[in-house]
Structure 1
Amino acid sequence: MSKDPLVSTAWLYERLSAPDIQIVDASWYMPSEARDPQREYERAHIPGAVFFDIDEIADTDSGLPHMLPSPAKFASRVQAMGLGDGSTIVVYDGGGLRAARTWWAFRAMGHENVVVLDGGLSKWIAEGRPVEDLPPSPQERHFTPRYSADLVRDKAQVLRAIESGREQLVDARPAARFTAEAPEPREGLRGGHMPGARNVPSSTVIAPDGTLLPADKLKAVFEAAGVELDKPIVTTCGSGVTASILALALARLGRPRVAVYDGSWTEWGGLPDTPVVTGPA
């Protein structure tokens, strides 16, 4: 089993003032949730945390939501936030472990020393730990991007995976969207899933208290969905956020190099010619 990709609230609390720990609020919400992550961050965040906007630190010309930016843009943005080489980056969010997207993004840019706060801000506050509303004053820090292509998949690579069967596709969307029984939240997308994909809704890997399930329970969830944990895996979802939660869960199971399909269903389901299957897997 490799190093766990999550840290506890107690672990972070003991290291709040450590100079090599950099804390990042990477909260993100669907429009239907009617929550403003930037405003919530300004009202209360873990002391010293900076805000990472996945919709701005992105390829804003792609036409798809929060796609990975170029390494140069990523480095420029995080350097200005005081995030860089030699630091341990701890990412958290306001609920649902969606900070996994930013965890994956840092690793896709070559920064492996990044972890997710298990339970996020909700658990932190529930335990009576400190928050502040002070704007940060980060000192710029050098960040060396080293793009890790093995952690990223595009449409052409997913098509080849379907044709060859060499990589398993694991979809993090809710079951009703996977089967096309429920509509997609984004307009203009077909319902269903990619041929051969397995369905592991991201909610099924998260415990009631918002923490990631322990390894034995995670293993049971993936195996029940027909995922072979010893074979290559690519995760997908609506727009690459909850797919990253599955990648995080698989990292806890000793599979740290799982790839994420960045465009996910927003790209795939929005095209007229990509193969789509409806009904259960």
Structure 2
Amino acid sequence: MVVAVTGLLAFQVHAGNEVLVSTDWLEQNLNNDKIRIVEVSVTPGVYERGHIPGAVNFRWHSDLVDPVKRDIASQENFQQLLRDAGISDGTTVVLYGDNNNWFAAWGAWIFDVYQVEGVKLLDGGRNKWEAEGRPLDTRAARYNGGNITLTGYNPRLRARLQDVVAVAEGREDQALIDIRSPDEYQGKVIAPAGVQELAVRAGHVPGAVNVPWSSAVAADGSFKPADELRALYQSVGVDGSKPVIVYCRIGERSSHTWFALSKILGYEVRNYDGSWTEYGNSVGVPVTNPAGTVWGGL
């Protein structure tokens, strides 16, 4: 680990990047008014039961996605969300959440789509913070309105169904990484145990390699060092020499891998947020199903 200094802020990060902050660093900077901490958790009520002091709550179900149509939050709504959280141009944002930072990584992806700079992820997320016995607060944080202005949208960070089909059919030369469990990838199940099945077919996109998101993290949930991550993806033929598309079930686990590949390794990566719930329901798209299932495990 090294300490990288940027302006008035010192980030303890993996060597070679400034996209992760440690739990030690964040606890030492809880009162830094140049920083805004944002929790993005998926479990209802977890923020209210106790959160990192000073953190605001972004609800993935309603704040970071369109509440009606299957889409990400609009630029207008996202800008207002950030302003309400007291985020201004130049604010450093630190994201964290439950479920191994899956949804916090989704948040980081949305920030990147709307070209917001100065965004970091708390390495290890909420689980690591709590496991280390660090402080929690039950009071909802309130801040004066910020003045951030979103000026752009980067479509190169987002893959659409037609992009994935083009790769599957060999019309585009890009790497595909399925980061779901081996059973989901093989077509033995459509969704993890206890999770609602939202697709009618099982299997994976032809040509996709399987690297479960958990392969990228250490026992405490923090990301493995960059050299280990690089070796992990090189072992399945992904070395950054061509663009990469990552997908999972609904786009949140793949955001975690997008962060590792894009932010830590610097590869050109798009997140397919439609993921298997879109692909597995689409008519006429090619599917590889080693398990031999067709409809919902039949």
TM-score, length-scaled by structure 2: 0.84
**Paired residues of 1:6 and 1:117 also in contact (CA < 8 A):** yes
**What are the ranges of 5 or more consecutive residues in structure 1 without an aligned counterpart?**
29-34
**Residue type of the partner of 1:14?**
Q
**Residue type of the partner of 2:107?**
T
Answer yes or no: is 1:259 the counterpart of 2:263.
Answer: no
Question: Are the structure 2 counterparts of residues 239 and 187 from structure 1 closer, same or farther at C-alpha, using a change threshold of 3 Å?
Answer: closer
**What are the ranges of 5 or more consecutive residues in structure 2 without an aligned counterpart?**
1-14, 292-298
Question: Are the structure 2 counterparts of residues 138 and 256 from structure 1 closer, same or farther at C-alpha, using a change threshold of 3 Å?
Answer: farther
Take 1:142 and 1:276, find their aligned partners in 2: how far apart are those partners?
A: 46
Question: Are the structure 2 counterparts of residues 192 and 96 from structure 1 closer, same or farther at C-alpha, using a change threshold of 3 Å?
Answer: same
Cross-structure match for 1:43: 49
Alignment counterpart, residue 177 of structure 1, candidates 171, 176, 184? 184
SS at match of 2:101: coil
Deviates more, 1:78-87 or 1:210-219: 78-87
Cross-structure match for 2:116: 111
SS at match of 2:38: strand
**Matched pairs, number:** 269
Q: CA deviation at 1:187?
A: 3.6
Question: Are the structure 2 counterparts of residues 245 and 48 from structure 1 closer, same or farther at C-alpha, using a change threshold of 3 Å?
Answer: same
Answer yes or no: is 1:128 the counterpart of 2:142.
Answer: no
SS at match of 1:153: coil
Take 2:254 and 2:117, find their aligned partners in 1: how far apart are those partners?
A: 18
Take 1:250 and 1:107, find their aligned partners in 2: how far apart are those partners?
A: 14
Cross-structure match for 2:296: none
Deviates more, 1:203-212 or 1:220-229: 220-229
For residues 21-69 of structure 1, what are the alpha-carbon distances to aligned partners after superposition, in whole Å with 9 as ceiling and x for unaligned?
00001112xxxxxx42xx110111001101111110212332x4xx312
Q: CA deviation at 1:253?
A: 4.2
- What is the RMSD computed on CA atoms of the aligned residues? 1.9
Cross-structure match for 1:91: 95
Question: Are the structure 2 counterparts of residues 111 and 249 from structure 1 closer, same or farther at C-alpha, using a change threshold of 3 Å?
Answer: same
* Counterpart mapping for 1:73-222 below 5 A: 73-98=77-102, 99-145=104-150, 146-162=152-168, 163-184=170-191, 185-222=196-233
Deviates more, 1:123-132 or 1:196-205: 123-132
Cross-structure match for 2:73: 69
Take 1:207 and 1:48, find their aligned partners in 2: how far apart are those partners?
A: 27
Take 1:186 and 1:255, find their aligned partners in 2: how far apart are those partners?
A: 33
Q: CA deviation at 1:225?
A: 2.5
**Paired residues of 1:219 and 1:253 also in contact (CA < 8 A):** no
SS at match of 1:91: strand
Cross-structure match for 1:56: 62
For residues 222-269 of structure 1, what are the alpha-carbon distances to aligned partners after superposition, in whole Å with 9 as ceiling and x for unaligned?
122232332211111111101111111113543254210121111111
Q: Which has the larger radius of gyration?
A: 2
**Paired residues of 2:35 and 2:92 also in contact (CA < 8 A):** yes
Take 1:45 and 1:257, find their aligned partners in 2: how far apart are those partners?
A: 33
Q: After the TM superposition, which segments of 4 or more aligned residues of structure 1 sit over 4 Å from their partners?
A: none
